[in-house]
Structure 1
């Protein structure tokens, strides 16, 4: 024990340094046999003092599934409304942002208003509030959907121009490697639009133009919307049976 104390005093009194020995890193505390034994004993004693309460402190139950939904001014607001209706029916937590032009488009294309939309969401945010919780990477969610996504928003997300909460939340989703899906609405597409989409696709973003599937033999616009929204939810592992799925070509006998 006296020898161990002498070695400890000698090592501590000298500057702690690292030196390479071939491909290995040498450190006086971890490579001296006596100090290694002392260090191991100290760790065991320290761990033994931790109570069960200390080990489980701060552990909470798993949170519910959580989706961020952003609505821009492109045409197709009905897709966002139906998406939120289904998510609400499934008891999935939703955090909703709608832009100024998204509100204008909603009033033009539907008889809905911002209060009707807010009733479908778990929480809503002002598009100007860039300090909101969803603007931080520490806010955990299971994906973000921009529906519909204008070409302006697409371009802003592509270059990281986070001028509002929609583009900031999308930027955070990309940097945190979380799923981001853009329901892009424009036709025909220019080379600028296509280049923006390609760049984001390479970054892991899902580009989802709401192209209708005619094999479902839709009878109304509602059928087209239902199929598009169902396929969007498929991308997030949320399965619904509210639209026909492809089951192969069936011959009429």
Structure 2
């Protein structure tokens, strides 16, 4: 089975994050990536120089085009672009019965803002329909904390990369059972971290679209990100891109990031 993964996110001209990282991730995990681009950014490893949102009706047209013809097994939502787009996307996704992974993108790795307050306030409806929400620690705080996110009925994957310490702790929390899985891994001494959140969410969506249980999909996604960091090609003058395209044998379970 080739999982069909619809990616609703922004474009990163530098190829490190956003749609570009998503497509590489889904492809290397054996899925078919489809896209609804929400924004165009002028962006590189150093920062974001410009952002142009795509009109909400055009985002919806992209979704309708691919879902109506190819179909979809899972959805990954990243940068949403505007409150109008958030509402329009929610209207369309309410009609689907597939796993939805929502990465509430607010700030790029470089520190540049990718969502204003109005857009962030519109995230609630997307969280209510999401299977899993995948914030980093600052994003989780902006959303009101663990209890506030879990109150929407979604699973919560708390990314630990922004915490201090030698080890990174990533946690998977159920809205009904509390923490159901945690993974600890040594922190890599690298600046090649641009697109880690996008990559994680897309890997998770691909696993869920393939029919994996949420814990197994979580483990696969974390492992894929860690290997992609180790495979980073060393590009750019700032936070460089991961090397998703070099993780060639991962789908067969032959590699380990430890």
TM-score calculated relative to the size of structure 1: 0.45
More strand by share: 2
Bigger Cα Rg: 1
Could you say which structure has the higher helix fraction? 1
User: What TM-score comes out, normalization by structure 2 length?
Assistant: 0.44
Structure with bigger RCO (C-alpha 8 Å, 6+ apart) = 2
